[in-house]
Amino acid sequence: MTVRIGIMGYGNLARGVEAAIGQNEDAKLVAVFSRRDPKSLCIATENVPVVSADAVADYADKIDVLVLCGGSATDLPKQTAEYAKLFNVVDSFDTHANIPEHFAQADASSKAAGKISLISCGWDPGMFSIARLYANCILPDGKDYTFWGRGVSQGHSDAIRRIEGVLDARQYTVPVKNALDQVRAGQSPELSVREKHTRECYVVAAEGADLSRIEREIKTMPHYFDEYDTTVHFISMEEMRKNHSGIPHGGFVIRNGCTGFQKENKHTIEYRLQLDSNPEFTGSVLVACARAVYRMNCEGQSGCKTLFDVPPAYLSPLSADELRAKLL
């Protein structure tokens, strides 16, 4: 059974979804939708139209799942509930604090339409959430840790770019090795924000800019940097292009817990991701999620879901028999 996919938006994540569709034989890209002039966009897949986002409703019968590739700040809070009125949708909404509201709005649209919206798919929220959930179910007495990185934080890089005199910037979130090693070894320390991660910044400054002011503004920026040990490296535009053009990321979800009548036995569950390309990995999760959404909807389910609600088998192109034989 082939799942016909539309992509809304065409940034890094959308290209990750497009590439992932090419790796899944049962997925087919039908169209890419954009708010930009369709003629201005050249997509990687041949013979697939780029269509104005305004015309997406014309594709209601041609698409099984619309994958929303906008950002969580302004795009998805509007788009998910809106497009869920017409399509099964998948998004990667990642503003944790606003998930309940986002869920409620998408749920109302999807239920009214008899469709499914699967929100917050990716790796955090997403695969990391699933790792936390399973680990919590198995080890009720325990402590969770999530470490992110080493990887590029788009939000923090953007925040640096808004400082006067900054031409470009890349911020890496880095787990503190000593803290990570302790947790991986089964210890359950109390760790402050500062003790878990450091922030490494690579900055291209305009000629003649006041470097010490820029460095000070970065290190004291509330929420983004002030609670962390931050290092700032000024580099050339050439060095930026050469050494910092990738978008790697990853991290660790670890739960240390105990079992036994006297809680005498300790256990560590660790889930680790190391990703060369954050958007391509996230895009790959979204395509597997699109497959699951289409199946669940074909079975008559509707409403908003998260990966917590999806039986793992629904994400796979293999049959139940094949899965039991090959992967169980």
Chain positions contacting its own copies, by CB under 8 A: 16, 19-20, 22-24, 44, 96, 99-100, 103, 120, 125, 127, 129-134, 136-141, 186, 250, 259-261, 265-277, 280-281, 283-285, 288, 291, 306-313, 315-317, 320-321, 323-325, 327-328
- Residue closer to its own copies by CB (options 215, 280) is 280
Torsion of CA 55, 60, 66, 70, to 10 degrees: 30
* Nearest partner of 240 among 157, 139, 122, judged by Cα: 157
- Residue closer to its own copies by CB (options 204, 307) is 307
- Residue closer to its own copies by CB (options 180, 205) is 180
> What residues contact residue 222 under an 8 Å CB cut-off, 6+ apart?
none
As measured in angstroms, the least distance from the Cβ of 327 to its own copies is 5
As measured in angstroms, the least distance from the Cβ of 284 to its own copies is 5
- Residue closer to its own copies by CB (options 159, 285) is 285
Burial of 240 (0-12, 13-18, 19+ CB in 10 A): middle
- Residue closer to its own copies by CB (options 52, 268) is 268
As measured in angstroms, the least distance from the Cβ of 231 to its own copies is 25
**C-alpha pair distances (Å), 193 with each of 148, 157, 215, 249, 274:** 12, 19, 21, 19, 22
- Residue closer to its own copies by CB (options 19, 53) is 19
As measured in angstroms, the least distance from the Cβ of 140 to its own copies is 5
As measured in angstroms, the least distance from the Cβ of 93 to its own copies is 10
- Residue closer to its own copies by CB (options 21, 166) is 21
Of the CA atoms within 13 Å of residue 136, those in its CB half-sphere come to: 11
As measured in angstroms, the least distance from the Cβ of 41 to its own copies is 16
Report the Cα 127 to chain-centroid distance in Å.
9
Report the Cα 266 to chain-centroid distance in Å.
31
DSSP of 57-78: GGGTTT-SEEEE---TTTHHHH
Residue with tokens 């996919």: 5
CA separation for the pair 108, 310 (Å, rounded): 19
CA separation for the pair 11, 226 (Å, rounded): 30
- Residue closer to its own copies by CB (options 7, 288) is 288
As measured in angstroms, the least distance from the Cβ of 189 to its own copies is 17
Phi and psi torsions of 31, nearest 5°: -165, 155
* Helix or strand holding residue 137 (H, E): helix 127-138
As measured in angstroms, the least distance from the Cβ of 143 to its own copies is 14
Q: 319 in helix, strand or coil? A: coil
